[in-house]
Structure 1
Amino acid sequence: MKNINEQGSVSPAVGEVSDIYRDGTYLRNNPTLHGEDSAYKFAYIRRLLTRCAFPEKSVRVLDVGGGGGIIAALVCEQLAQQGLQVECHAFDLSPEMLAQQRANNRFNTLATSDFGEIRRQRYDLALLIDVVEHIPDNGLVADDIDRIARQVIYNIPIERNLLDWLRNLYMKRRYYVLQTASLGHVHFYSYGSAKRFVREHHQPVASIFPDYPGHLLESDFPDYVVQRANRLRGLELLLSRFIYRRLKPLAPWLIQGSLFILADSRSRPR
């Protein structure tokens, strides 16, 4: 993602961080674009969609930084099954990702890297799934989204927790550095700071802390199979699932995961 000014151009303040999306580095580091997690993520997004209100039969969805566009396609299909007429726009820095979004989402009518074009539109629902951790000036982008979209669904990785703190110590304080290098994360959120970020820019409606360790333990994706085969990582995942199931109120502060949040716009009426 990028730092965006009022005209929609890229700010030089982003520097090399945004270059990993434009020069193909992110795609080389993450060739699947996390498509292996799409069904898992959509299962929670679908629960939040039941809390969404669409006053008109025609619904316009905005997908910001949506990778291959699979999650947005699933959202649009779900809304279409409810009898709504759906149109989707996608914003991303990478031309390769935009091409995949056009191919994967039959509801997509606009895929662009020009945020100025997006800012001139109006949307019923915006999707920012695993996005704000990549954007240096993410508060400015959140304010823009609040002005143009009636409702927004976020997924924000929770990377400030006990186990990740211990992981960072074990890796000689290199864990977060490597997250930035490989994934482009420039912000790292705790459960509390993720909620606070959304509350500062929108009106929160509902949130879900998902069963991420359960997903990693049950998925047949090869990388997750390799993770489970590592004795230390496998033990961590089993401990995390135990905490998720038995100490759920404390889980967001203790284990790896993310936070799905539905929020209403402060600027636009529902």
Structure 2
Amino acid sequence: MENRYTDGTYLAANPGWHGEDSAWKLAHVRRALKGAGVAETHLKTVCDVGCGAGEAVKLWAKERPETAFYGYDVSPQALTLAAKDKPQNCVFRLGSVLRPEPCNVLLLLDVLEHILDWKEFFKKWTAQAGLIVVHMPLDLSVYARLRPSILKRERETVGHIHFFTARKFLRELDGLDMRVRHLHYTNKYVERPPQITRFISRAGMFIRRAAHRFLPRAWAAYWVGGYSLMLVLEKKTNPGTNCGAV
């Protein structure tokens, strides 16, 4: 599965490596940590696994010069982008066989759905983390099941090989000995609406916005989709403190 990310195919399909979403995504990370009772001033080390072009890490590092930030990715093209204008407190490392530094917070933002054996990947990379922040797309919905082309597009354009509902993913996490310390839903399509010209896409967006406005988030995610989960996790057997382990 690394070929797509190492041979330039993914970069060709996504030339910005989703950097345009970084400020939005980072705002949700910080909201989640605040909701979990974590003070950013207590964070000494933050690791971002599958960091891509590293824009979220770089934005955060510029605001927190006292914190060490590490970004990891298998793609040399992504890390070439990440190296541009990086702050001094930000280090990027190439390779999938590395282990991260022991850290207060480990970020897995839109990563696990790309990994064939995501559970083993998760266990490996979270072994030395205090708290884990996960952003997981909820691709499975009633609407997506009625329109299989949606899942096909997610597989072909952004490389998703696993599809989840909120209940399914939370059940999997429980089996990995993880406790949810904070949870909220995000919806990029509503919060950062794309430019849409096709009638059927505009109709779908209208339905999503209506569901977002009138339904509880869990119901809207299940019925019409377009949502992701933003989670702060801790190990059941070794729960983190206010800033996790270092």
Same fold (TM over 0.5): yes
- Secondary structure at the counterpart of residue 90 of structure 1: strand
Residues 1:158 and 2:128 are matched in the alignment:
no
- The Cα of 1:110 is off from its aligned counterpart by 3.9
Indicate how the Cα distance of structure 1 residues 211 and 204 shifts in structure 2: closer, same or farther if over 3 A, else same.
Answer: same
Indicate how the Cα distance of structure 1 residues 267 and 100 shifts in structure 2: closer, same or farther if over 3 A, else same.
Answer: farther
Q: Deviations over 1:60-83 (max 9, x none)?
A: 1111111111112233345x2xxx
**Equivalents in 2 of 1:183, 1:139: separation in Å?**
20
Do 2:133 and 2:231's aligned partners in 1 also have CA atoms closer than 8 Å? yes
- 1:69-88 correspondence runs (5 A): 69-78=54-63, 80=64, 85-88=66-69
Indicate how the Cα distance of structure 1 residues 115 and 62 shifts in structure 2: closer, same or farther if over 3 A, else same.
Answer: farther
- The Cα of 1:182 is off from its aligned counterpart by 2.4
**Equivalents in 1 of 2:226, 2:236: separation in Å?**
30
Do 2:43 and 2:104's aligned partners in 1 also have CA atoms closer than 8 Å? no
- 1:121-132 correspondence runs (5 A): 121-132=101-112
Indicate how the Cα distance of structure 1 residues 212 and 110 shifts in structure 2: closer, same or farther if over 3 A, else same.
Answer: closer
**Equivalents in 2 of 1:70, 1:126: separation in Å?**
16
Match among 85, 97, 110 for residue 115 of structure 1 = 97
What is the aligned partner in structure 2 of residue 6 from structure 1?
none
Indicate how the Cα distance of structure 1 residues 101 and 267 shifts in structure 2: closer, same or farther if over 3 A, else same.
Answer: farther
**Equivalents in 2 of 1:18, 1:266: separation in Å?**
31
Residues 1:146 and 2:126 are matched in the alignment:
yes
More helix by share: 1
Residues 1:30 and 2:14 are matched in the alignment:
yes
User: Where in structure 1 are there 5+ consecutive unaligned residues?
Assistant: 1-16, 218-223
Q: Deviations over 1:92-134 (max 9, x none)?
A: 1111111222325413124221533x25x31111111100000
Do 1:152 and 1:262's aligned partners in 2 also have CA atoms closer than 8 Å? yes
What is the aligned partner in structure 2 of residue 61 from structure 1?
46
Indicate how the Cα distance of structure 1 residues 216 and 167 shifts in structure 2: closer, same or farther if over 3 A, else same.
Answer: farther
What is the aligned partner in structure 2 of residue 251 from structure 1?
220
**Equivalents in 2 of 1:239, 1:257: separation in Å?**
13
- Secondary structure at the counterpart of residue 52 of structure 2: coil
**Equivalents in 2 of 1:55, 1:213: separation in Å?**
28
Q: CA RMSD in A?
A: 2.3
Do 2:46 and 2:69's aligned partners in 1 also have CA atoms closer than 8 Å? yes
Residues 1:43 and 2:12 are matched in the alignment:
no
- The Cα of 1:48 is off from its aligned counterpart by 0.9
Indicate how the Cα distance of structure 1 residues 42 and 64 shifts in structure 2: closer, same or farther if over 3 A, else same.
Answer: same
- Secondary structure at the counterpart of residue 207 of structure 1: strand
**Equivalents in 2 of 1:112, 1:193: separation in Å?**
31
Percent identical residues: 23
What is the aligned partner in structure 2 of residue 3 from structure 1?
none
Q: Deviations over 1:186-239 (max 9, x none)?
A: 11111212222333332211111123332343xxxxxx21x2x22111121111
What is the aligned partner in structure 2 of residue 97 from structure 1?
78
**TM-score in terms of structure 1 length:** 0.79
What is the aligned partner in structure 2 of residue 239 from structure 1?
207
- The Cα of 1:240 is off from its aligned counterpart by 0.7
Provide the aligned length of Structure 1 versus Structure 2. 235
Q: Deviations over 1:233-266 (max 9, x none)?
A: 1121111111111112411101222111111234
**Equivalents in 2 of 1:209, 1:164: separation in Å?**
18
Indicate how the Cα distance of structure 1 residues 177 and 134 shifts in structure 2: closer, same or farther if over 3 A, else same.
Answer: same
What is the aligned partner in structure 2 of residue 205 from structure 1?
181
Indicate how the Cα distance of structure 1 residues 261 and 112 shifts in structure 2: closer, same or farther if over 3 A, else same.
Answer: same
- Secondary structure at the counterpart of residue 2 of structure 2: helix
Q: Deviations over 1:22-50 (max 9, x none)?
A: 11111111111112222222222121121
